[in-house]
Amino acid sequence: MRVPRWYWAFVLANAAMGAASPLLPLYAYYLGGTAGDVGMLAAVGSMMNVAASLVWGRLLDATRRRRLFVVFGFLGVAMAYFALPAITRMPQLYLVNGWAAFSWMAGSSVAFLLVLSGFPKEQWEGEIARFNVHCGVGWTIGLAMGASWTTLVVRFVGEGWGLRSLGFIVGALSVGAIGVSLRLIREPGVGVHPPSFRDAVVAVGNFLYERFRTAPIQLYEALRPSQLLRFMQGRTAFGPDLILCYYAALLAFIGFAIVFAPFPVFVRHKLGWPSELVFALNVAHHGVSVVAFGLARKAVARWGHRPAAALALLGRAGMFVGFALTTPGVARWLLPALWGVAGATWAFFQLSVTAIVSRLSPSGVHGQALGIYNAVAGLGNVLGALAGGYVADFLGFPAAFLLAALLMVVALPIFLVEGRPVA
């Protein structure tokens, strides 16, 4: 089946965001930011994603326009990164990151609506998967571009202008995505009723999380505050088994963010590695995780969902302890190996836990159950980013990494509790 040509707009956009993903933490470090500052930077981006998902979701349901949202989103990202040379203080960088996150959500929110409106309902899952492949390729290209650019340019113009010039490349890729969008994206015809944001979110469920590189879009479907206490007690249609899984996932995602949000500062400040190696680690993580998804599927089929999730958490606990023991003398061979473990364990964790959530959710609310899981992940990212940065500043990076390992150990037996078998 022929790939819709407008997919290439999102390949370019994801290349821009792939190059940008380590850029702002590295620029924060260049400005003198601490681990706490970088953690706050990550938390601001996650919180703005959550807020933006609510705003854009409602606006999308109120209008038939689609291309306008894509153009606005990509334009906002371009403006944010073109402004990077003017940023000299951390509060300004928080604003840039918040605006970029808010803008990005406009394009990513409408992307899957464009996919779904172009194909019959029985083809939605397969087409979303194909669209995700294109986005993943773009993201990987962007990471590799960032690694190559910082390797070649920083040695000639210094770290500051090396990172600022990469910001210009991110902006230029976003402008290119705007051009492709204007040329190739068509608005729905008269008499055509495209799926609403709300209906599409429920129908697609978890296909959007992580692949679109956004915070939880499905927070649009989260429970009302009046239901929150009943939800936390397991007294809802979801049942106590699924709620227990959410608690374990929250602990796990807090632990992940405790480590990975301030990690660029650890690599630059404590290990003395250059910026290009931070990009290279991200390329390795992404590549290993893509390959490991095939192994994860086989492991889940052979051992079951809960043992596969437990193996992922056990691997991450050991990996975080390894990070705590990493010194400049052993980092050159130990750190790439540990980041390979990070990529593999992410594949095992995400595949097995989303399968558990899907199978424990009652019939007819799979999308909502997976959406709440994504909201839990987003909350964990915010809390973990804040905690990881400030623990690293006040107690040291080893303390932050060991705290994350402890959370893995606590979450592991919760995932193994099986009040109701996962079919």
- Tell me the pLDDT tens digit for each residue of 207-254: 443 333 333 333 444 444 445 556 565 566 667 788 888 899 999 999
Where among 199, 220, 241 does a domain terminate?
A: 220
Answer yes or no: do 247 and 111 share one domain: no
Confidence of residue 11 (pLDDT cuts 50, 70, 90): very high
Q: 12 in helix, strand or coil? A: helix
Q: How many domains does the chain have?
A: 2
Confidence of residue 421 (pLDDT cuts 50, 70, 90): low
Answer yes or no: do 94 and 190 share one domain: yes
The torsion defined by the Cα of 247, 251, 256 and 259, in degrees rounded to 10, comes to: 160
d(C-alpha 68, C-alpha 233), whole Å: 42
Give pLDDT tens digits for 262-271: 999 999 999 9
Contact 103, 75 (CB under 8 A): yes
Residue numbers of the domain that contains 10? 1-220
Confidence of residue 2 (pLDDT cuts 50, 70, 90): confident
Lowest mean pLDDT of 104-108, 191-195, 351-355, name the range: 191-195
Answer yes or no: do 155 and 175 share one domain: yes
Lowest mean pLDDT of 54-63, 157-166, 385-394, name the range: 54-63
Answer yes or no: do 149 and 159 share one domain: yes
d(C-alpha 393, C-alpha 204), whole Å: 40
Question: Which range among 35-39, 104-108, 205-209, 237-241 has the greatest average pLDDT?
Answer: 35-39
Answer yes or no: do 16 and 126 share one domain: yes
Answer yes or no: do 229 and 247 share one domain: yes
Mean pLDDT of 256-284: 91
The secondary element (H helix, E strand) that includes residue 250 is helix 239-260
Number of C-beta neighbours around residue 203 at 10 A: 17
- Residue 203: is its pLDDT beyond 90? no
Confidence of residue 24 (pLDDT cuts 50, 70, 90): very high
Where among 188, 220, 252 does a domain terminate?
A: 220
Answer yes or no: do 227 and 199 share one domain: no
What's the sign of the alpha-carbon dihedral 13, 18, 22, 27?
negative
Predicted pLDDT of residue 30 = 93
Answer yes or no: do 231 and 210 share one domain: no
Amino acid at 338: L
Answer yes or no: do 213 and 227 share one domain: no
- DSSP for 268-289, please give it: IIIS---HHHHHHHHHHHHHHH
Answer yes or no: do 251 and 199 share one domain: no
Six-digit token pair at 182?
């204007």
Answer yes or no: do 288 and 300 share one domain: yes
Mean pLDDT of 41-65: 78
Predicted pLDDT of residue 221 = 42
- Residue 324: is its pLDDT beyond 80? yes
Query: CATH number of the domain that 380 lies in?
Result: 1.20.1250.20
pTM: predicted TM-score of the whole model, two decimal places:
0.82
Answer yes or no: do 177 and 191 share one domain: yes
- Residue 132: is its pLDDT beyond 50? yes
Where among 162, 194, 220 does a domain terminate?
A: 220
